[in-house]
Structure 1
Amino acid sequence: MAEFEQLLPPLATLVPFEAAYRLGSFTRAARELHQSQATVSRRVRELEQNLGVELFKRQRYDVSPTADGELLAASVRLSLSELSATADLIRRRALGNDSITLLTSLSLATATVAPVLGEFQRTHPDVNIRVLASDDLVASTDEDFDLALGYGPNESPQFTVEFIAEEAVFPVCSPTFAARLPSPITPDDLAVLPLLHVDYVDPGWTTWQDVLATSLVGEVGRVKSVVFTSYQVCLDVAERDGGIALGWERSVRSRLDAGTLVRVPDITIPHAGRINAYFPKRTAQNPHAAEFVALLKQVLADDEASTSDLLPSN
């Protein structure tokens, strides 16, 4: 469009500007870009002249952004990130190196993603798959991915969100720990037992406080607990008689099938959360990511009957 040429600053100035902003130094930016310090300084000055404002305060060795520099940097960094990611995707397609990078939570990697990978590879033999398993929140990760799967928000300014499946949550413990529990067990009994918590910052993560608040009559008192930053470690400790953990139905099913964990009966939150797919909005959607989600939905639908066996009948 014609107005681009009139309104956009000189494009050759943007990469040096971003590097100087990020590194706080023309010298360090020049070293990263394999240019001279004078070239970087000249490019930034050209950008400042084009915009009519000062973008950096110059010190002897470093530079610090002005308010206008901060404003421009936010836009430049987002634009360059989107351009580089899209260009990389196009290059990979041009080389015939079709691939998909999948980010998934550790809890879903084994229980939900792994069973689908084999079928996807069978139907897409020429597609390279890279799986990143992490418990970092999708919105805060530094990883570059085509598709993320996890428990999280249903709307996001950064991602196109697609619903995959609902999850139920229920208490689990080792068989030997379960043998020592009163029968029948009540929510009041649970409140005084050793409860294993996962300390997630994700507001969608169901906690023991949520469970007890919906089960107990009256207010929830102080709950004695051991807190973990890893869901998998929390389940490992529960397997070793360490207490009672909250299990998300799909992620805990293999341990229930193996008999290393058992359900504490009669307490279930049936709609505790949603498994969502997250597609980054900043790049064109990788078609293989959409194909993977479609296959995942099909596998979960076929598996729905066995999943429902974990839940008590009404």
Structure 2
Amino acid sequence: MNYFQRTLPSLDALVYFEAAARHLNFTHAAAELNVSQVAVSKRIRALEQHLGIKLFDRLGRSLTLTEKGRRLAAKITPSLSFLEEAIDNVRDRSGTERQVVTIAANENVNFFWLAPLMREFQLSGKDTLVSVVTANNVTDVIDHKTDLAVFHGRSAPKGWQVHVSLPEQLLAVTGPSCSRADEFTLLEYTKESPDWVNWSSLTEGQIANWFTNVKFRYCTSYIQSITLAAAGHGVALGVLPLLQRELRLGELQQLRSQILTSDRRYFVATPNGRTPSAATREIVELLGENSTSTISY
């Protein structure tokens, strides 16, 4: 028998952690949760004590996820979505039926793009439950329940109707307080999929157009590279449309004016032979409206 109360922290602590990990800012997380910044800080500290590990590295006002914090964050969002779906399935809705939209995406797409948008979508009072399932290879988690998928590559798989097609654009990004990019380390990461682009994928000439005196610091994931960049510990290879929110909020800044366009794209698609529900169409429109291939300052 599982005695979850002996091993699991409180649900509130996990909800607070998910928001803090997504924003990398306790104040922004507090605003989303409608609580004080002190409340978020206390819950995170209590969670760290419960687990016996550090989840965040704190450098002044900057936050970065530790490796274990990153691993927990990658699991918490889909787990909370699954729990929300389970609760909703047994809730008395007075005869109304709530629509469920299941989305398949890779971890990076979900962490930076889908999760924030879907949370705002559901907090806006929409009577739709969104469930996101993730894997490095999106096709590994697609089944008959999948209503929508976000693919990354040169083309979408056969059997899918593409509704939104966005170019992948690459730019150098770092934290808001950094300015002397020539002295920074480039934050490299191991590609989770052959289609992903990292610093090593670029030619020496392309990198030289941005920086001189290049040195590298290796990260365990793309998420960690962006987390470290936001804290001012180097320069990450930013990807649009994934990082639009962070750039818009000033959590990241673009270095240099050059933007490279890769030969990959992001495809928002639905299965052929199935008419998308009204809720699915609404989410497709939301993803299209909140995606742009250029940055406005």
TM-score normalised to structure 2 length: 0.51
Q: Which position in structure 1 is the counterpart of 2:50?
A: none
Q: Could you tell me how far 1:138 is from its partner in structure 2?
A: 0.8
Bigger fraction of residues in strand: 2
Q: Which position in structure 1 is the counterpart of 2:274?
A: 284
Q: Could you tell me how far 1:228 is from its partner in structure 2?
A: 3.5
Separation of aligned partners in 2, 1:141 and 1:245: 28
Higher Rg of the two aligned structures: 1
1:100 paired with 2:101, answer: yes
- Number of aligned pairs? 195
The correspondence for 2:245, drawn from 251, 254, 261, is 254
RMSD: 3.8
AA in 2 matched with 1:252: L
Q: Which position in structure 1 is the counterpart of 2:137?
A: 137
Separation of aligned partners in 1, 2:171 and 2:263: 9
AA in 2 matched with 1:274: R
Is 2:147–2:270's contact at 8 Å kept on the other side of the alignment?
A: yes
TM-score normalised to structure 1 length: 0.49
Q: Which position in structure 2 is the counterpart of 1:46?
A: none
- Which deviations, in whole Å up to 9, do the C-alpha atoms of 1:219-262 show, x marking residues without a partner? xxxx8534444322111122334321101133323333444432
Q: Which position in structure 1 is the counterpart of 2:189?
A: 198
**Alignment partner of 1:103: what SS?**
strand
Q: Could you tell me how far 1:129 is from its partner in structure 2?
A: 2.3
Q: Could you tell me how far 1:269 is from its partner in structure 2?
A: 0.5
- Structure 2 residue runs of 5 or longer lacking an equivalent are 1-95, 209-213
Separation of aligned partners in 2, 1:216 and 1:238: 17
**Alignment partner of 2:202: what SS?**
helix
The correspondence for 2:295, drawn from 286, 300, 308, is 308
Change (3 A) 1:272 1:261: farther
Note the 1:1-314 alignment, pairs <5 A: 96=97, 98-109=99-110, 111-113=112-114, 114-115=116-117, 118-119=120-121, 125=127, 127-132=128-133, 134-141=134-141, 145-157=146-158, 159-175=160-176, 178-182=178-182, 194-213=185-204, 215=206, 225-271=216-262, 273-280=264-271, 284-287=274-277, 288-297=279-288, 299-300=289-290, 304=292, 307-309=294-296
Separation of aligned partners in 2, 1:198 and 1:272: 20
AA in 1 matched with 2:130: I
Separation of aligned partners in 1, 2:151 and 2:124: 24
Q: Could you tell me how far 1:111 is from its partner in structure 2?
A: 5.0
- Structure 1 residue runs of 5 or longer lacking an equivalent are 1-94, 183-188, 218-222
Separation of aligned partners in 1, 2:197 and 2:262: 10
Is 1:112–1:251's contact at 8 Å kept on the other side of the alignment?
A: yes
Separation of aligned partners in 2, 1:123 and 1:174: 33
AA in 2 matched with 1:251: L
Q: Could you tell me how far 1:96 is from its partner in structure 2?
A: 4.4
Change (3 A) 1:135 1:267: farther
Is 1:196–1:246's contact at 8 Å kept on the other side of the alignment?
A: yes
- Which deviations, in whole Å up to 9, do the C-alpha atoms of 1:12-49 show, x marking residues without a partner? xxxxxxxxxxxxxxxxxxxxxxxxxxxxxxxxxxxxxx
Q: Could you tell me how far 1:267 is from its partner in structure 2?
A: 3.0
Bigger fraction of residues in helix: 1
State, as a whole percentage, how many aligned pairs show the same letter.
19
Change (3 A) 1:202 1:159: farther
Separation of aligned partners in 1, 2:243 and 2:292: 15
Change (3 A) 1:261 1:100: closer
